[in-house]
Structure 1
Amino acid sequence: MTNISENPVHGLILPQEYIDHAKILARRKERTILAIAGAPGSGKSTVARLLHEALKDISMIVPMDGYHLSNKELERLGRKERKGAPDTFDVWGYKALIERLKNQQKNEIIYAPEFYRTIEEPIAGSIPIFDNIPLIITEGNYLLLAQNEWKTLAPLFDERWFVTAPIAERQQRLVDRHCYFGRSVEDAKAWVEHTDEPNAQLIEQNKQNVNLTIEWKNI
């Protein structure tokens, strides 16, 4: 396990070894799908973003969060208060997208959805993926979950990275995030305790087929 550090002066630091490894993956003859998974607040989205920023010309990020069920559908199902749990996503829709990306045809543009936190809803057709991009970086909580329909995803990925972080730091990031998007501190802490943390424990304890584990720490 290698650490990723957050330097208060120089900002976020992604070790060169990860960038170099991803470059090697991108040189394969066929398109490579790199999955980056982790618990809420672990830093997986940041790892994906930093990796893409280092490899802009050869990579694209496709987040799992675009397959959140809409708030309207969550209300119908009675799951809105558990938004973010495994059964609040369209896993089969996400799986179909990954399968399409693995077999993208020449001159075909595939559109992926994106989740917008400002409105707490996914929007279809937000991310265009072109056929000449060799490395697809997909990130999300449940990509490596060894339960139910989620367990069918891992074999689709060419490489699987798992991002982890100390519990206190992970939870504080989540509280800060929820507050930034409009929750009170009390509501944010309650959501983390009753929704985010049970999901985090499920993810940490039921991951499968991990090729590389990254620990994110503040220093």
Structure 2
Amino acid sequence: METACQGEVFLYDEMLGYAGFEARAGQGVLEGSKAVVCIGGLTDGLLSLRYLPALAAELQQVGWRTFQPVLQSSYRGWGFASLDDDVLGIDKFLSFLRSKRGITEVVLLGSSTGCQDAVHYLKVGKLTDIVHGIVLQAPVSDREALSVETSGNQVEALCEFAKTASKMIAEGRGEEALPRAACQLFGPPDVITAYRFDSLTRRLADDDMFSSDLSEDEMKQKLGHVHTPALLIASADDEYVPKTVDVSMLCHRMADAMAAGVARTAECLVLQQGGHGVRGQDAQAHFVDAVARFVARLSVHELPDGTHLSRLTWEVSLANTLRGRAASVPSGKPLLVAIAGMPGSGKSRISQILLRLLQPDCLVVQMDGYHTKLSDLQSRPDAADAVYRRGAPDTFEVSSLREALKRVKAGESSVKFPAFDHARGDPVEDAVCFDRRVHRIVLVEGLYLLHRNDGWQEIPDLFDFKVYLDADLEECIGRVKERNKVIPGYTPQEIDKRCEEVDRRNAEVVQLTQGEADLHAGPKLNQAPED
């Protein structure tokens, strides 16, 4: 079946002669400031993404234009290119679109290894401010794909060339080509550098972002920085995914690892058919419809069902502030940060987002781990009242928290913290471990970190930087009521009564501490002046 598409081919890099293509449905010049930029994978070039004509036609209906650049890695050039090389090319392409085509909002659509380009661009690209979302079509591990395609003597050859590549890189010869036989493991091109071979075949190398054997922490390190809305589209019958891999589970693990996943703006779609390249009319129709719906939700700011997708903005700004602060702290000392706010203000959410944005040298500690054990509360003279008020300032082991924070500041190499197990309703000891060699930023999130009464007097002074989450009191109480509906053994009336009598009182106590903050943060990013 012939693949053809109307459109315009143009040079976006006059010096090197790199071309771009705008796909169109019908005659005429398209107008509009929103564009989906398609980034192909290994060996891909113009129109090698067979769904491009149908995608352009559908996107045109929702006011989005469709482009595809030729990059250094396109066609047979990927063996000499790197993700950084592609980022430079994407920078040039987006700059051209902005200045010559009036494009101000972009969604990067990566296909296959182009998914790595899209993810990497969000980390190091210069024009990320105009990237409002990413689509990852076939985010597949090249390393695992090789395991599907190689057997027998090829496996032995793969190991030998991996050793050769590693040795060449150690000798400063990473940009030199491996013997031609190394390329035959991949197919075209005829040459591949030691660096690119290593990147595509070694665990946790630059290209290794989507492998099923990555741990949760490793996946967060690879994907955590993705702060724009993301649509991950995988095929259950992808021929490059090992049969032992649950495609749906892996896709959701990737989404959960992203900062966007914490914000619930990373979504997954698993096509039952279509394979790696989304082949066939039915699969393409499903894919095209999903992408069009995704970008439409980026465009409309007020949807009746509240499904508008937006980038993380103030969260990224806060992460950048903390990264800058940490850089000014003497080597070997962590930046100790308090994230304080009322119940329901989003402390856990922002902490998990920051954890991903600040990977790999960030640790999150929950103040809730220092809840007094239920059995200890029950042994107090005011047992009934103490249990009912659990979560108030005097129902925490403040002295234990104080000592742990002092140990971190004193320079100890390792400090263990408890965490609260909601299933058990009690803390679990030694659940989180601070490692001075790894963690440059320690985020402690909780209600009373800025409180100076009820035994908390010394706590605020132990932090290097204090953040208060601005939020509306009534909205916070509403969230707590909704959240507590899942607690077994209580009627809705009992839950509402306790929220009003306990959580509201705690929230009012926390509100009084906001003046201790160095920075106020929230959707409006109302920042306090910094020193």
Q: Which residue of 1 aligns with 2:401?
A: 94
Q: Which residue of 2 aligns with 1:36?
A: 339
Describe the SS at the equivalent of 1:147.
coil
Do residues 23 (structure 1) and 323 (structure 2) align?
yes
Structure 1 runs not aligned, ≥5 long:
none
Q: Quote the Cα distance in structure 2 between the aligned partners of 1:206 and 1:19.
A: 22
Q: Which residue of 2 aligns with 1:76?
A: 379
Q: Is the 8 A contact 1:109 1:128 kept in 2?
A: yes
- Counterpart of 2:464 (choices 158, 164, 168) is 158
Q: Is the 8 A contact 2:452 2:459 kept in 1?
A: no
| TM-superposition CA deviations, 1:174-214 (whole Å, max 9, x none) | 01211123343222211110110001111112445211112
Residues 172-211 of structure 1 mapped to structure 2, 5 A cutoff: 172-182=478-488, 183-211=490-518
Aligned-pair identity in percent equals: 25
Q: Quote the Cα distance in structure 2 between the aligned partners of 1:40 and 1:110.
A: 27
Residues 102-181 of structure 1 mapped to structure 2, 5 A cutoff: 102-105=409-412, 108-132=413-437, 133-181=439-487
Describe the SS at the equivalent of 2:467.
strand
Describe the SS at the equivalent of 1:152.
coil
Q: Is the 8 A contact 2:334 2:436 kept in 1?
A: no
Q: Is the 8 A contact 1:67 1:94 kept in 2?
A: yes
Q: Is the 8 A contact 2:366 2:445 kept in 1?
A: yes
Residue 165 (structure 1) shift: 1.4
Q: Quote the Cα distance in structure 2 between the aligned partners of 1:20 and 1:75.
A: 44
Report the count of equivalent residues. Answer: 211
The structure in which a higher percent of residues are strand is 1
Q: Quote the Cα distance in structure 2 between the aligned partners of 1:36 and 1:117.
A: 20
Q: Quote the Cα distance in structure 1 between the aligned partners of 2:493 and 2:441.
A: 41
Q: Which has the larger radius of gyration?
A: 2
- 2:479 partner letter: R
Do residues 54 (structure 1) and 360 (structure 2) align?
no
Runs of 4+ in 1 over 4 A off after TM superposition: none
Q: Quote the Cα distance in structure 1 between the aligned partners of 2:409 and 2:487.
A: 35
- 2:323 partner letter: K
User: Taking CA–CA contacts closer than 8 Å with sequence separation of 6 or more, which of the two structures ends up with the larger relative contact order?
Assistant: 1
Q: Quote the Cα distance in structure 1 between the aligned partners of 2:375 and 2:324.
A: 43
Q: Quote the Cα distance in structure 2 between the aligned partners of 1:13 and 1:186.
A: 36
Describe the SS at the equivalent of 1:148.
coil
Distance verdict in 2 for CA 1:70–1:12, change over 3 Å: farther
Residue 9 (structure 1) shift: 3.5
Residue 109 (structure 1) shift: 2.7
Q: Quote the Cα distance in structure 2 between the aligned partners of 1:63 and 1:113.
A: 8
- 1:10 partner letter: L
Q: Quote the Cα distance in structure 1 between the aligned partners of 2:392 and 2:313.
A: 29
Q: Is the 8 A contact 1:154 1:208 kept in 2?
A: no
Q: Is the 8 A contact 2:361 2:441 kept in 1?
A: yes
Describe the SS at the equivalent of 1:95.
helix
Q: Is the 8 A contact 1:117 1:181 kept in 2?
A: no
Residue 26 (structure 1) shift: 2.0
Q: Which residue of 1 aligns with 2:235?
A: none
CA RMSD of aligned residues (A): 2.0
Q: Quote the Cα distance in structure 2 between the aligned partners of 1:216 and 1:197.
A: 22
Q: Quote the Cα distance in structure 2 between the aligned partners of 1:12 and 1:70.
A: 39
Q: Quote the Cα distance in structure 2 between the aligned partners of 1:207 and 1:20.
A: 22
Distance verdict in 2 for CA 1:80–1:45, change over 3 Å: same
Q: Which residue of 1 aligns with 2:312?
A: 13
